[in-house]
A and B are shown apart, each in its own frame.
Chain A
Amino acid sequence: MTTPAIETTVLTKRYGRTWALRDCSLAVPAGRIAALVGPNGAGKTTLLHLAVGLLDPTSGSVRTLGASPRERADILARVGFVAQDAPLYAGFTVRDTLELGRHLNPTWDEDFAIERMRRHDIDLRQRAGTLSGGQRAQVALTLAVAKRPEVRVLDEPLASLDPLARREFLASLMEATAESDLTVLLSSHLVTDMERICDYLIVLSQSRVQVLGEVDTLLATHRVLTGRRKDRAEVAGAEVISASHTERQSTLFVRSTTSIPDPVWTAHEVSLEDLVLEYLAQPAASMLPGPAADGPRDSMEVRA
């Protein structure tokens, strides 16, 4: 396997007595569009900041493009980052903001940046502080992509955008991805949007990695089983992640590498959103071996 674009090993970040991230080990393969999802406070922003060198780990390590990104101008030149709420210098014009990019990034593509602004109808003379949410996101994205990075890291880029702006932003991001083989890691609450564009999923819950893997594989190996009520929620050949029962019916959310032969159960496919929600509802469940997993262990790792 080629070097993962972003790789963490037992990555931990602590602030005094609060754990922001705990023993996170994951790898984002190069060329993937990876979604980082999880509830507020799960550690998504912390993880992204660690990946771009804005934070130092308390213990463990993070490697972006094969090296620690901290104080490495050469690594930073190959990573484009947009922080939450797309911070810009409010007093700068759009033109100034692009100038900043040009002066601070040796691989800056000025024509591309200007063209992008033109295409999104953003006036170069306008002050960054007076831009709309969608325009700010586009300017910030341009700043991150015009240096032609190999990896793009985006922290909740859709959060403050209206639906139209969201679609435009995603389309813009996908267009850039289509042109070159780059890796994207973005965090979001909006799992349905993620389902359109992501082929790799990371779920963070309570500062730990809960789910990790290719979206196709995850959707192929998780099923919702419905059937007549059975008090013992066990299925041969599958790991039961959650179970709920009504008087007559049991519904199980399971993971398995094989199809469920038992005719007692009717198997349904799950959407990515359902998968994420099921896992988030079971904080103790984890796809990875580790202290968080309480139930039956399955040491199978779902990875490309």
Chain B
Amino acid sequence: MIWLTWRQHRQQALAAAIGLGLVAGFFLVTHPGIANTFNSTGLASCLGTPGRDCGQIADQFDRQYRGLQFLVPLFLVVPLLVGLFWGAPLVARELEQGTHRLVWTQSVTRRRWFSTKLALIACAVVVGAAVFAELVTWWSGIFVRLHDARFTPGIFDIRGIVPVAYALFALALGVLVGTLVRRTLPAMAATLGGFIAVRVLVTLFARPHYVAAKTASTPVVLAKLGGIMVGNDSFAGGWIIKQVTVDRLGNVLSGGQGLDFASLSGRCPGVIPPPPTEPSPAQLAACLDRLGVHTLTTYQPATRFWAFQGIEFAIYAVLALVMFGAAAWVVRRRLA
């Protein structure tokens, strides 16, 4: 069975290895440049010094590497590819081409056929995904630090250990769907839909609640408008789930950290002139103080990053195991 698994999937394995190699090569080539710029512009030391406003240098760096930074969210797709090209065809292709009638009448039970194939492929997926996650984490580190985005959905998903769990989940989903749908292309389509749906749902509705979020109240910071807010230190590296600006009684004045002059003009009579005149900072500050304006932030602190990685990993890993089991059952009991 080991020989057969290798022989049947060696092209896929080769393609994946080449892909991984290309990505690794690309990273190796581009990373020194990024790191150099990061240090030589002083951005590294600036970010390392708490309280300094690095806005201008940061903006410039950001613009320079905008193109490369676009690549980062693309890595979200990689676990899905595992499900589409390794998972969905596994059983579906055999059924579609009728080769199951050949291979399941050799002197090997379906149980052994399925479990050996799956074990070998799952191992390859785990190793490949781990290597990939490690590479991405390393290469994207500077950008992530720049935007303080380690915990942010989208970035959280490509770092650490969760990509491995996503890949296993995608594999399991693909295999299970393949056994139910019995044809490769429809199975791929269903895997695509299912993967995206589950990932979105878990990220939006489950992840914020792994551990009860904290809520903090901060006074409104009259920073310069525009540019990069290099962040309130107490949220640095954390995940801001929701932010609203409210008055003393909790009435919402605006979303986020900013001030909505339109809603303020009613509450601060005479303070907000029509645009483009700017209000006087002293008068504005006095009114804000009178109203008790502050920002309410619901967030997960940075220290919980690895706990969240672990929980999410466990969720997807358990889902994967359950689906592997279901697929095994379908193959042994239900398939013709």
Contacts and interface: CB of A to CB of B under 8 A. Distances in A.
Does a CB–CB distance below 8 Å link A and B in the complex?
yes
Interface of A: 49, 52-56, 71-74, 76-77, 79, 81, 83, 85, 87-90, 92, 96, 99-101, 103-107, 140, 143, 147
A86 B168 CA distance: 34
Interface in B88-127: 97-112
Given A53-B105, A103-B4, 4 more contacts: A55-B336, A71-B111, A76-B107, A87-B99
Given A96-B7, A100-B4, A79 B99 contact: no
A106 B104 CA distance: 15
A54 B3 contact: no
A100 B106 contact: yes
- Secondary structure dominating the interface of B: helix
B107 A107 contact: yes
A76 B108 contact: yes
A79 B108 CA distance: 12
18 contacts: A71-B110, A76-B105, A76-B106, A76-B107, A81-B101, A83-B98, A83-B102, A87-B98, A87-B99, A90-B97, A92-B7, A99-B3, A100-B4, A100-B103, A100-B106, A104-B103, A104-B106, A104-B107
A105 B105 contact: no
Top 4 A-B pairs, shortest CB-CB distance: A77-B107, A83-B101, A104-B106, A87-B98
A71 B104 CA distance: 9
B1 interface: yes
Contact of B336 (A49, A72, A85, A92): A49
A54 B106 contact: no
B111 to A, nearest CB: 7
A71 B336 contact: no
Interface of B: 1, 3-4, 7-8, 97-112, 332-333, 336
B101 A87 contact: yes
A99 B8 CA distance: 12
Contacts, number: 73
B13 to A, nearest CB: 14
Contacts of A100: 4, 7, 103, 106
A101 B106 contact: yes
Contacts of A53: 104-105
Nearest to B11: A91
Contacts of B102: 83, 87-89, 140, 143
A83 B102 CA distance: 7
Contacts of A107: 107
Contacts of A81: 101, 105
Q: Which of A81, A107, A140 has the most CB of B within 10 A?
A: A81
Contacts of B107: 73-74, 76-77, 104-107, 147
B227 to A, nearest CB: 57
B1 A104 contact: yes
A46 B98 CA distance: 15
A54 B104 contact: yes
Contact of B332 (A71, A74, A90): A71
Contacts of A106: 107
Contacts of A140: 102
Nearest to A86: B102
Nearest to A100: B4
A103 to B, nearest CB: 5
A274 B3 CA distance: 50
A99 to B, nearest CB: 7
Contact of A54 (B1, B7, B101): B101
A147 B333 CA distance: 26
B97 A87 contact: yes
A53 B104 CA distance: 9
A170 B107 CA distance: 25
B4 A54 contact: no
B105 A89 contact: no
A55 B1 CA distance: 22
Nearest to B107: A77
Nearest to B111: A71
A56 B97 CA distance: 21
Contacts of B333: 56
Contacts of A96: 7
Contacts of B332: 71
A99 B6 CA distance: 12
Contacts of A72: 109
A54 B103 contact: no
A49 B98 CA distance: 13
A240 B7 CA distance: 59
B105 A54 contact: yes
Contacts of B1: 103-104
Contacts of B110: 71
Given A83-B102, A87-B98, A88-B99, A54 B336 contact: yes
A101 B106 CA distance: 7
A254 to B, nearest CB: 40
A82 to B, nearest CB: 9
Contacts of A87: 97-99, 101-102
Nearest to B7: A96
A15 to B, nearest CB: 9
B153 to A, nearest CB: 41
Nearest to A81: B105
Nearest to B105: A81
Which of A52, A104, A107 has the most chain B CB atoms closer than 10 A to its own CB? Answer: A104
A268 to B, nearest CB: 42
